[in-house]
Chain A
Amino acid sequence: MTASTSKSLFTIHYFAAASTFTSKNTELLPAPLRLTDLFPELERRYPGIREKVLTSCAVSLNGGYVDQNEGGDSALGGDGGVVIEDGDEIAIIPPIDYPLKSSAKLECTNSRSSEEDTQSHGLLGFDAIS
């Protein structure tokens, strides 16, 4: 906490295409800022960034993904009401997830569902002959 300054600021990190477009890796922006106002604010500072870069980007707040869409309803699990506060850390995350051939897909433990137990068949089949 820096009590010496009266200015409220949050940190924003840019990666890949976002850092190229802004010519910055990181900067400080005035807080508080509603999450839904983040992309409009960036568009105001970097005209064109929304269409060229941000539409395909995700947003992280303090190390976790948030949904910055205006339709986000916190009651439904969205982040529509979230406000970026003094000292927060935002990261603009360009796309990394592309469709993957299903045969080589690992489900993550935190989104695992019981829908597919077929994934272990190959292993079981192998164990039978090993």
Chain B
Amino acid sequence: MTAQETPLPAHLDPNTYPRYSHDATKNIHLTLTYTPLDANTYLSQTSSPAAGANVLFLGTTRDTFEGRPVSQLSYTTYPPLALKTLTEIAEAAVEKYRLLGVSIAHRMGVVPIGEASIAIAISSGHRGAGWRAGEEVLEACKERAEIWKREEFLDGGMEWRANADRDAEGKLKGGEANVT
């Protein structure tokens, strides 16, 4: 991808990352980064002596899409909007589930197959709230966060895909109930 008219905009320049947003009061940590995600970092951000449950989710890149071999996946974002949206998602989860901490980290640029593109760490008093909040935060991120995934296939094709094209089971959303 080339932009001849202007230099690389800041939001596409890895040197302007990582970008953080942190709310100490609600113990919310948000990270957009071009470097590998470190699960322990996010777990320690949310850990608390009051927590009985610490839930970690890692979304990793898969080597096929609908049976089509994927050669490379990459992500781009628009931080001014994405950080706002992630803040709203995290705040809603903290309030709804009385969470002790939430950390959401998303990797940008090329993410090699098998590596994590998103990490979510949640601390809560009890496990039920933590499990549920973890799933809801993930689904909300895929549905709303201004982050786009580009899939390049071994056969040479390329497609932009909204994260939310598919539900938690990999089924197409918003269309036919039964797609093969």
Contact = CB atoms under 8 A, between A and B. Distances in A.
Given A93-B81, A98-B164, A98-B174, A107 B5 contact: no
Given A104-B135, A109-B88, A120 B96 contact: yes
Interface stretch (B8-16, B41-49, B65-73, B110-118): B8-16
Contact of B89 (A27, A99, A106, A130): A106
Main secondary structure of the interface of B (DSSP, over half): helix
B55 to A, nearest CB: 14
B92 interface: yes
Question: Interface size for chain B: under 10, 10 to 19, 20 to 34, or 35 or more residues?
Answer: 35 or more
Contacts of B162: 16, 94-96, 98
B165 A26 contact: no
A97 B144 contact: yes
B163 interface: yes
B173 A96 contact: no
A106 B93 contact: yes
Given A95-B162, A108-B89, A28 B96 contact: no
Contacts of A60: 78, 80-81
Interface residues of A, number: 41
Contacts of A65: 81
A46 to B, nearest CB: 14
A27 B137 CA distance: 34
Contacts of B22: none
Nearest to A89: B80
B126 A130 contact: yes
Nearest to B4: A24
21 contacts: A11-B6, A15-B76, A16-B76, A16-B160, A16-B162, A25-B8, A26-B12, A28-B6, A91-B81, A94-B160, A98-B143, A100-B140, A100-B143, A100-B173, A107-B92, A108-B92, A109-B92, A109-B95, A122-B132, A123-B96, A123-B129
* Nearest 9 Cβ contacts at the A-B interface: A126-B128, A63-B80, A108-B88, A16-B160, A16-B148, A98-B164, A106-B140, A26-B9, A25-B3
